[in-house]
Amino acid sequence: MSTSTGSAGTRRVNVAAARRRQAMADGWKEFARNRAGLAGLIILLAVIALAAVIPLFAPASVLDVTQVTAGRNESPSLANPLGTDPAGRSVLALLIWGARISLVVGFAATLVSMVIGTVMGMAAGHFTGAAQAVLMRLIDFFLVVPGLVLAIVLSSIIGPGIATIVVAIGVTSWAGTARLVRSQTLTVEARPYIERAWALGASDAHVIGRHVLPAVMPLVLANTTLTVGSAIIAESTLAFLGLGDPSSVSWGGMLKSALDTGAATGGYWWYVLPPGLAIVIVVLSFTLVGRALESVINPTLRGR
């Protein structure tokens, strides 16, 4: 809305802005009432902050196997609180550096998945006839096909690397979102104001962009939070199977080298436990935040 229409227009803008602020404040209050969700949010912010500042405390050179000073597979001590890995590097430093890859890949893959899922879901809900039939088949297909196996196929063809993993996870994980967005699109498009828009001569692009998209966005956002957790597990799984970037440190990659070097059967628990615990904590936090967001958006879920 433009402000050039004079004082009446300005006031209208302010009213709308105030209403939006009020809605945000109400939403936040509802979110904050969910203590588990709040705890998840705090943990996530702490992990992100830690991953952001780690280069200040432990420069990338600590990850260089040619510059290690400690012995191999040392048990935890004061100098290395979580011991050292099979190459003599500090597990604690690896762990925090690994958070960067896991978070970046988790967010990037989720972005890819959400964009595909939202577009496909809205299109499948909006269009009818042959286009809809084709889109639904496609969604159904990606819903049933084993995602991890497809992701393995994709990433082993394209070649290992971070971008590959992002694409592989994004391309194989959007169907659930598409299904969700589609049913929401159907609900929204049955409302009278869409009929009004059609009657005024709105185009497909207008209806989707101005009416459907804003209506499905909150749902997509809550779903995003849940998907980031899944994407982080998927990333660690692919890295564990050796499809990650071998030159960068990630939680899945650490666990892979734990299996390869026999750390698990050798009893080096300090190299096996921390990366997995880190994954569990971060993924659980995303799940808790996602569930709290869901209950903000969908009041019928409250108190469950």
Residue where the block lists tokens 């569990």? 280
CA dist 33 to 69, 93, 196, 302, Å? 49, 35, 38, 11
- Among residues 58, 152, 202, 217, the one that binds another protein under rule CB under 8 A: 152
Site for another protein in 46-105 (CB under 8 A): none
Binding footprint of another protein, residue count (CB under 8 A):
70
Cα gap 201→180, rounded to integer Å? 28
Among the candidate windows 17-25, 49-57, 210-218, 232-240, which touches another protein by CB under 8 A? 232-240
Residue 234 near residue 279 (C-beta atoms within 8 A): no
- Residue 139 is a binding residue for another protein (CB under 8 A): yes
Among the candidate windows 25-33, 199-207, 208-216, 271-279, which touches another protein by CB under 8 A? 271-279
Alpha-helical runs (H) found in 85-212: 91-126, 130-144, 147-158, 162-172, 175-189, 192-199, 204-206
Site for another protein in 248-267 (CB under 8 A): 252, 255, 258-259, 264-267
Nearer to another protein, 161 or 206 (CB): 161
Among the candidate windows 12-20, 65-73, 89-97, 226-234, which touches another protein by CB under 8 A? 226-234
- Residue 213 is a binding residue for another protein (CB under 8 A): no
Among the candidate windows 49-57, 89-97, 192-200, 270-278, which touches another protein by CB under 8 A? 270-278
Cα gap 164→142, rounded to integer Å? 18
Nearer to another protein, 74 or 202 (CB): 74
Residue 261 near residue 86 (C-beta atoms within 8 A): yes
Amino acid code (one letter) for 169: I
- Among residues 143, 195, 196, 204, the one that binds another protein under rule CB under 8 A: 143
- Residue 202 is a binding residue for another protein (CB under 8 A): no
- Among residues 74, 111, 242, 248, the one that binds another protein under rule CB under 8 A: 242
Of all residues in the chain, what percent are helix, strand and coil, respectively (each to 5)? 80, 0, 20
Cα gap 240→275, rounded to integer Å? 11
- Residue 198 is a binding residue for another protein (CB under 8 A): no
Least Å distance between CB 244 and another protein? 12
Nearest to 128 by CA among 74, 189, 61, 73: 189
Nearer to another protein, 26 or 140 (CB): 140
Which residues contact residue 13 at a Cβ distance below 8 angstroms, ignoring those fewer than 6 apart? Answer: 1, 3
1 SS3 class = coil
Which residues contact residue 285 at a Cβ distance below 8 angstroms, ignoring those fewer than 6 apart? Answer: 39, 40, 41, 43, 44, 47, 229
Residues binding another protein (CB under 8 A): 136-137, 139-141, 143-154, 156-159, 169, 172-173, 175-177, 179-180, 182-183, 219, 222-223, 226-227, 229-231, 233-234, 236-237, 240-243, 252, 255, 258-259, 264-267, 269, 272-273, 275-276, 279-280, 283-284, 287-288, 290, 294, 303-304
